[in-house]
């Protein structure tokens, strides 16, 4: 069956535009995944959910990104126990592996794929306790305090002159924790294996303890650097389920926040990348521009980072005409300065040499690994949800899609420079044509069993979120998905053959979230 | 190169000078004095993300930008706890980071200061205590100063560091 036939059979899902859902049998599950892959689609997210009314039943979900839109497959399975096994998707979509391992750790539903090592579970709770199962979670809470780093089975590389370098979980510098195991010969990296999950905070369990009308605050804190993307995705799902139409001004303000978030992160990365290439001047200049932006945002909205700007029904804050004017001026000045700095980066031979050819992720590999977002666009993948599946106001704003094909650090830098300019342009455009009217409307809690999806292109890539309402205004299940899930394994490939001292630079050019996928 | 120099020339020195009626500037001035008086050398800080959402990290990183210019105040981030006077800890402590945090604390030479950063570090924040988190940093290691905010501004974080040094008088 072709992709089209699956799409036509599926029913509409509320929330983000162009999302459909389809209940499938075990055979259809695999066939649909194969057909989507054959048509150039990729895996967006995979998670499991235990039935609200029958704790013995569960379902595993796969959200697939296709040309037509997002297709969410739902496969019923028994919950927890020996029979709770479904066909793994790792051969079709390699990125499925870690998601399947996490789904087992949290929900007790197991894939048939060979890699059964725990992912999010280190040693803080026993192997047979699954925190998202109604009963097991209490048992998990009284588990022994974690002992030393549990013996994680890293893949060993044998051979003459091969030795291992272990880094983390605590790193030098102000970054998030994770463990990297390098197998090297001399200075050359033969293999990198990541072990993540250190900042697992039980976010999906925590969602079930919050009222559904308050979940956006937690969503914003899945990965703080992408707070607007996550809180918008949450609200998009919720508003769809509640049949709430947000005011036009609110949609435009959300886009404004999202582009400001993109600008702030790109400025930060461009400075850090210059620094990692031995050009401290770049860090000084870009961190100054970033601080300028944060102060302008603070003046306009009373918060430097927009963690509490998007709320159900619209936005928490509005922008006054003078504030809009000031913000426009600042952002346009930042765009100009960033352009001048770009020329300096381009002409600096030391920087050029370090960027070019480092950490290359070839377009074919990017397809095979199903990478997303900025990293994908630097490796020839023309994917940007703002253009491909636009929600209001992006259909009207029509952002330019930035694509490079080289796949190296230089390409990821170039994508950031171009996107920075485009986002600055969008900010100007939004502030010049903000629709009038209110920025907030009322929204009621959706009925139990309602299901919705959010899908928003954050600065790092597409943020996906699935939300299922429980009884009495509660959350039965919320699964937030950061694109770093897909891109971390790609980093393992991109460093092969590079020298160890280039790892910080290559890593920074991906700049992936730990907190997001660790949930 | 010429462009770089021109840029440096055109921007000049932008580190905010004391004194002025801005709380940031007062904090800067007092910190500078205090570090000189108490340590007579740079204050060395080790940052530990013990479970943060990474929002607090963004504001800690901002301390190194030329406007806050923390290095200019005699504060350095160091890569090893063995060289640290003070630990700057973020996050509700995740159970998966609990051991690493304890070990970092033990590896830091006495006398040591701990500043917990952010609502999460202070109280567990929105994540609270659960099967996956131990809540506030003080549930795992002794904390000298807690800086609320989600995330707290760089100025607030500097204030927290200043308070910690002041409370100890002599390290
Ligand atoms: S205090 Fe706020 S910004 Fe800091 S880690 Fe907690 S949720 Fe994130």
CB contact under 8 A, A344 and B4: yes
Q: Is position B83 within any domain?
A: yes
If one counts the domains in chain B, the total is 1
Task: Flag whether B110 is in a domain.
Answer: yes
Position B171 scores a pLDDT of 46
Query: Which of the listed residues B88, B92, B97, B120 should we mutate to test ligand 1's pocket, taking the one with most ligand atoms within 8 A of CB?
Result: B120
Provide the sign of the torsion angle of the four alpha carbons B14, B16, B17, B22, taken in this order: positive
Q: Which residues of B touch A128 (CB under 8 A)?
A: none
User: What is the domain range of residue B59?
Assistant: 42-168
Contact A116, A101 (CB under 8 A): yes
**Mean pLDDT computed over every residue of chain A:** 94
| Cis status of the peptide bond prior to B151, with omega within 30 of 0 | yes
Written as tens digits, the pLDDT of chain B (171 aa) is: 566 666 666 666 666 654 444 566 677 778 888 888 888 888 999 999 999 999 999 999 999 999 999 888 889 999 889 999 999 999 999 999 999 999 999 999 998 999 999 999 999 999 999 999 999 999 999 999 999 999 999 999 999 998 998 877 544
Q: Is residue B31 part of a domain?
A: no
Does some domain include residue B122?
A: yes
Task: Read off the tokens for B74.
Answer: 């005699």
Does B72 map to a domain?
yes
Rounded Cα distance, A143 and A136, in Å: 11
B125 touches ligand 1 (CB under 6 Å): yes
| Helix or strand holding residue A248 (H, E) | helix A248-276
For chain B, the first-to-last Cα distance in angstroms comes to 44
**pLDDT value at residue B18:** 41
pLDDT per residue as tens digits for the range A469-494: 999 999 999 999 999 999 999 999 99
In a domain, B148, yes or no: yes
Q: Are residues B7 and A344, on separate chains, in Cβ contact within 8 Å?
A: yes
Nearest to A395 by CA among A385, A410, A405: A385
Quick check: CB of B123 below 6 Å from ligand 1? no
Q: Is B151 in the pocket of ligand 1 (CB under 6 A)?
A: yes
How many Å apart are CA A331 and CA A69, to the nearest integer? 33
* Cβ neighbours of residue A158 closer than 8 Å, sequence gap 6 or more: none
Question: Who among A222, A281, A290 is closest to B4 (CB)?
Answer: A281
Probe ligand 1: pick from B52, B57, B124, B152, max atoms within 8 Å of CB? B52
- Residue A82 gets the label, from left (phi > 0), alpha (psi -120 to 50) or beta, of alpha
| Substitution target from B79, B101, B131 for chain A, most A beta carbons within 10 A | B131
CA of A236 to the centre of ligand 1 (A): 23
- Which pLDDT belongs to residue B8? 66
CATH number, domain containing residue B110: 3.40.50.12280
**Domains in chain A, start-ordered, CATH in brackets?**
3-143 (3.30.460.80), 162-195 (no CATH), 203-510 (1.10.645.10)
Neighbouring C-beta atoms of residue A208, cutoff 10 Å = 17
Q: So what's the pLDDT on residue A53?
A: 83
Distance A515 CA to ligand 1 centre (A): 11
Q: d(Cα B127, Cα A218) in Å, to the nearest integer?
A: 8
Span from the CA of B52 to the centroid of ligand 1 (angstroms) = 6
Cross-chain residue pair B51–A199, CB shorter than 8 Å: yes
Give the distance from residue A84's alpha carbon to the nearest chain B alpha carbon, in angstroms: 23
Question: Is A144 a residue whose pLDDT tops 80?
Answer: no
Nearest to B96 among A122, A294, A348 (CB): A122
Q: What is the distance between the alpha carbons of residues A475 and A234, in angstroms, rounded to a whole number?
A: 12
Specify if B48 maps to a domain.
yes
Query: How far is the C-alpha of A100 from the C-alpha of A123, rounded, in Å?
Result: 18
What is residue A128's predicted lDDT score, i.e. its pLDDT? Answer: 87
Closest partner residue to B64 among A287, A340, A518, by Cβ?
A287
Model confidence over A459-468: pLDDT tens digits? 999 999 999 9
Q: What is the mean pLDDT of chain B?
A: 87
ipTM of the assembly? 0.94
Q: Does residue B35 lie within any of the structural domains?
A: no
């Amino acid at each position: 069956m072709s992709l089209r036939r699956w799409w036509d059979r599926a029913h509409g899902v509320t929330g983000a535009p162009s999302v459909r859902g389809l209940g499938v049998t075990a055979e259809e599950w695999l066939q649909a995944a194969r057909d989507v892959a054959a048509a150039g689609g990729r895996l967006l997210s995979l998670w499991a959910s235990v039935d609200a009314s029958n704790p013995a039943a569960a379902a595993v979900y796969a959200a697939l990104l296709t040309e037509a839109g997002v297709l969410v497959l739902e496969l019923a399975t028994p919950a927890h126990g020996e029979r709770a096994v479904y066909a793994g998707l790792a051969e079709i979509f390699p990125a499925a592996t870690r998601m399947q391992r996490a789904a087992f750790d949290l929900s007790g539903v197991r894939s048939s794929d060979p890699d059964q090592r725990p992912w999010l579970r280190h040693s803080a709770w026993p192997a047979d306790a699954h925190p998202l199962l109604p009963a097991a979670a209490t048992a998990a809470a009284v588990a022994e305090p974690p002992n030393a780093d549990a013996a994680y089975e890293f893949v060993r590389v044998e051979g003459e002159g091969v030795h291992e370098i272990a880094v983390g979980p605590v790193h030098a510098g102000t970054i998030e924790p994770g463990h990297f195991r390098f197998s090297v010969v001399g200075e050359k990296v033969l293999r990198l294996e990541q072990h993540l999950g250190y900042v697992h905070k039980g976010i999906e369990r925590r969602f079930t303890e919050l009222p559904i009308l308050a979940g956006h605050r937690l969503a914003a804190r899945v990965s703080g650097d992408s707070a607007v993307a996550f809180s918008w995705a949450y609200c998009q799902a919720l508003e769809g389920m509640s049949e709430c139409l947000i005011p036009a001004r609110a949609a435009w303000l959300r886009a404004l926040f999202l582009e400001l978030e993109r600008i702030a992160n790109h400025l930060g990365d461009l400075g850090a990348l210059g620094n990692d290439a031995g050009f401290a001047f770049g860090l000084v200049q870009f961190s100054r521009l970033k601080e300028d932006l944060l102060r302008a945002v603070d003046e306009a909205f009373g918060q430097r980072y927009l963690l509490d700007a998007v709320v159900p029904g619209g936005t928490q804050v509005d922008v006054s005409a003078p504030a809009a004017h000031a913000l426009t001026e600042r952002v346009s000045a930042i765009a100009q300065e960033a352009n001048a700095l770009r020329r300096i980066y381009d002409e600096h031979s030391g920087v050029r040499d370090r960027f070019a050819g480092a950490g290359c992720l070839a377009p074919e590999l990017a397809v095979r690994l199903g990478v997303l977002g900025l990293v994908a666009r630097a490796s020839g993948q023309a994917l940007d949800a703002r253009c491909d599946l636009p929600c209001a106001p992006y259909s009207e704003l029509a952002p330019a899609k930035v694509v490079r094909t080289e796949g190296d650090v230089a390409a990821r830098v170039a994508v950031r420079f171009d996107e920075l300019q485009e986002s600055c342009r969008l900010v100007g455009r939004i502030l010049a044509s903000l629709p009038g009217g209110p920025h907030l409307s009322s929204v009621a809690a959706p009925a139990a069993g309602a299901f919705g999806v959010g899908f928003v292109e954050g600065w790092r890539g597409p943020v996906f979120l699935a939300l299922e309402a429980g009884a009495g205004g509660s959350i039965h299940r919320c699964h937030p998905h950061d694109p770093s899930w897909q891109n971390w394994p790609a980093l393992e490939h991109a460093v092969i053959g590079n020298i160890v001292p280039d790892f910080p630079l290559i890593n920074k050019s991906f700049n992936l979230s730990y907190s997001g996928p660790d949930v | 190169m010429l462009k770089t120099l021109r840029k440096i020339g055109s921007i000049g020195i932008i580190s905010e000078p004391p004194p002025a009626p801005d709380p940031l500037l007062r904090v800067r001035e007092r910190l500078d004095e205090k570090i000189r008086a108490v340590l007579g050398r740079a204050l060395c800080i080790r940052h530990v993300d013990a479970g943060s959402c990474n929002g607090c990290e963004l504001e800690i990183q901002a301390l190194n930008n030329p406007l806050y210019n923390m290095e200019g105040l005699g504060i350095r981030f160091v890569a090893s706890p063995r060289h640290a006077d003070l630990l700057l800890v973020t996050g509700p402590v995740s159970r998966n980071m609990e051991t690493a945090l304890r070990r970092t604390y033990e590896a830091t030479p006495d006398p040591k200061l701990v500043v917990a950063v952010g609502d999460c570090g202070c109280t567990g924040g929105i994540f609270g205590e659960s099967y996956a988190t131990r809540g506030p940093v003080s549930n795992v290691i002794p904390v000298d100063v807690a800086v609320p905010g989600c995330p707290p501004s760089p100025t607030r974080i500097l204030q927290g560091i200043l308070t910690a040094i002041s409370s100890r008088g002599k390290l």
